Chain A
Amino acid sequence: MSGGRPAGGLVTTAPREATPDGGPVLAVEGLRVHFTGESGVARAVDGVDVTVGRRETVCLVGESGCGKTVSALAVLGLVPGPPEGLAAGRIRFGGRNLLELDDRAMETVRGRRIGMVFQEPLTSLNPVFTIGEQIAEPLRVHLRLPEPEVHRRCIQLLADVGLDSPADRLADYPHRLSGGQRQRVMIAMALACEPELIIADEPTTALDVTVQAQILALMRRLQQSRGMSMLYITHDLRVVAQIADRVYVMYAGLIAECGSLAQIFKAPRHPYTRALLAALPGRGKRGRRLYSIPGTVPDPAHRPAGCPFHPRCPQAEPPCRTQLPGLCAFEPGHVARCPVAAERGPEDWCA
């Protein structure tokens, strides 16, 4: 943070700092996160580059164990240090490398300039404090607002996230709320300090489809009206289709493909992305077999050599078994880690 905001000042009136070069809000470069356990070193994240532009919603999508959540935790400085864990690379945010910040400095970023929304609102909310106390905490700790202002802000935040009679809600405990309402409270907490970036990790996974649609609409509306950027992590391609501007597909700790929403869904190039889309059930595929990816996701401690997807890939060639392929550009902004696809063009193995 170059200038720093005056403590206790109103964030709403503080000018938004531009990133030094007007570039992306968040730039993750060559991120590696390794954990040391009994079965050896698990390379959970193995060289990931992700950028999130201003006012942009970027989705990180992949199956369980691909490293998407760990990447987000690394951005938030929540990966344990050695000996258990190690995060290396660069995470550029606000002109600094977040990986170099000490705990104190990180606290001025986490929750204040980067808001977080997690999957399980019931476990993320403290059951013995009221909603009001929990929303007020970041306002008191980070912004040091005077009490009447804290109270006013809390009510405003709850109204912003669409809870009815927000003033009465402040005294409620989390268990009194439904799953959707709890997630709204979590979003209100994430928004409290008006962060530039929201990191949302599967925030709608535990919710019913209609509630999920409400929460997605709410997040999109807030992101646009407040001019925030969002890094949205999910395993659900249908959610991606509803919220993303740009998409990163992750597999085995690496980015397999990255592109705009249309590029990923209409013209996917990486065999893994294509297989995922072909495996999605839908009414249009009734009577046909779904494409199923053979084999299973590799264990992070024992990744195959070469391209991590090659044992399950229908178009793998001998070099794929030995060399990790680089990212190949297809269109501006559309890259995939597959030279075979770049060479041969789309094949119809998963039709």
Chain B
Amino acid sequence: MSDDLLRLEGVSKRYPVQRGALRRTTGWVRAVDDLSLAIPGGSTLGLVGESGCGKTTLARMILKLLPCDSGRILFKGVDLVPLSAAGMRPLRREIQIVFQDPYGSLNPRMTVGQALSEGLRTCGVRDREEVCGRVAELLAMVGLSPEAAERFPHEFSGGQRQRVGIARALTVGPSLVVCDEPVSALDVSIQAQILNLLKDLQERLGLTYLFISHDLNVVGYLCDRVAVMYRGQIVESAPADELFDRPLHPYTHVLLASAPDLENARRPDAAPPEPPSKTAEAEGPCRFQPMCARADEGCRSFDGELVQVGAGHFVRCRRAGST
């Protein structure tokens, strides 16, 4: 077994499309489709894609908040999929999540101190003084003063609340933290503070991050590897520099052109067409083909496998490499 902390093998999830008064199932949306990826311990994998591509569904399956239809989710070599709620319990401490909107995930009637100590108690810290000490320690770790423990979530600004969200994820001492768009709702100056904090914590605690985002600039800054997701599939994955310097999938090109770096800011002139509805062409082998500028006849019968094209560089496109 490799040193991958988390490995997904052929994970799938589909949702029924229901119509009419009887809620008859008229079709399926393949939210996550035969998806495989791996995250080595201590590294950061960026998962990029647009809304509705299945990023959050994937995150929820990793946390077992949502059952998956098929495939294996291996955490430290243990498959999470068949585990019962009781069997999952010890592993819950290892895998934690930071949400985009910490306000929605914090109990408004609990002080921050209470919210943090709840997590500590579940992992067996019962002594009052020890709990208080740990809470203060956690708050210091995320850059909040000890007095923050007495306050309620609504008394904090967005950035501080995200710090509380991070502290709460850390209470149980996880090794993998799934970050679901943690800085998307924040102003630039606050976003920089949170990104710096995530980096510091990774160094100090040896955390592994699955960093879900739609922002290529954030991902390019923070992540070691980047996987680009399109309609439930990984279409390209590579070490971050490789992906930005040598993008091969046409969708990655579109994404990069849509969110230019400030250094080479370019006016968007050739914007991509809007995608058709999600179920419409779901049966086509290459899901990007209807929108692809480079697609030709052969793409209609392309079997859609991820192919290795370089060191750690995988792409799902039969025309990748050809120009």
Q: Which residues of A contact B (CB under 8 A)?
A: 63-64, 178, 180-181, 208-214, 216-218, 220, 235, 237-238, 241-243, 265, 275-277, 279-286, 289-293, 296-297
B204-252: which have CB < 8 Å to A?
214-218, 220-222, 240-241, 244
A243 to B269, CA, bound (A): 11
A238 to B268, CA, bound (A): 12
Query: Considering only CB atoms and an 8 Å cut-off, how many residues of chain B contact the other chain?
Result: 41
Contact of A216 (CB < 8 Å), options: B51, B214, B244, B268: B268
Contact of B189 (CB < 8 Å), options: A178, A216, A275: A275
Contact B268–A282 (Cβ < 8 Å): no
A-B contact pairs, 17 of them (CB 8 A): A63-B188, A178-B274, A180-B274, A210-B50, A210-B271, A213-B258, A213-B272, A217-B271, A237-B188, A241-B262, A242-B260, A279-B188, A279-B189, A281-B195, A281-B222, A283-B244, A286-B222
Residues of A within 8 A of B147 (CB): none
Nearest CB of chain B from residue A145's CB, rounded to whole Å: 30
A286 to B195, CA, bound (A): 11
Query: What 6 A-B pairs have minimum CB-CB distances, sorted nearest first?
Result: A283-B220, A281-B221, A213-B258, A279-B192, A290-B192, A214-B271
Chain A CB within 10 A, most for which of B240, B258, B259, B272: B258
Overall SS of chain A's interface:
helix
Contact A220–B195 (Cβ < 8 Å): no
A82 to B263, CA, bound (A): 46
Contact A208–B265 (Cβ < 8 Å): no
Contact B268–A242 (Cβ < 8 Å): yes
Residues of A within 8 A of B157 (CB): 296
A217 to B254, CA, bound (A): 14
Q: Which residue of B lies closest to A261 (CB)?
A: B265
A-B contact count (CB 8 A): 120
Task: From known contacts A238-B262, A290-B196, infer whether A279 and B191 are also in contact, taking CB-CB under 8 Å.
Answer: yes
Known: A208-B214, A242-B267, A282-B263. 13 other contacts (CB 8 A): A180-B274, A210-B271, A210-B272, A213-B257, A214-B274, A217-B271, A241-B265, A242-B268, A280-B217, A281-B222, A283-B244, A286-B221, A296-B159
Contact A265–B262 (Cβ < 8 Å): yes
Contact A282–B220 (Cβ < 8 Å): yes
Residues of A within 8 A of B220 (CB): 281-283, 286
Contact of A281 (CB < 8 Å), options: B218, B244, B268: B218
Q: Which residues of B contact A (CB under 8 A)?
A: 50-51, 157, 159, 187-189, 191-193, 195-196, 199, 214-218, 220-222, 240-241, 244, 254-255, 257-263, 265-269, 271-272, 274
Chain B CB within 10 A, most for which of A214, A276, A277, A279: A279
Contact B258–A282 (Cβ < 8 Å): no
Q: Which residue of B lies closest to A285 (CB)?
A: B221
Nearest CB of chain B from residue A169's CB, rounded to whole Å: 13
A208 to B193, CA, bound (A): 24
A211 to B272, CA, bound (A): 8
Residues of B within 8 A of A209 (CB): 50, 214-216, 255, 258-259
Nearest CB of chain B from residue A51's CB, rounded to whole Å: 23
Residues of A within 8 A of B217 (CB): 238, 280-283
Contact B222–A213 (Cβ < 8 Å): no
Contact A210–B261 (Cβ < 8 Å): no
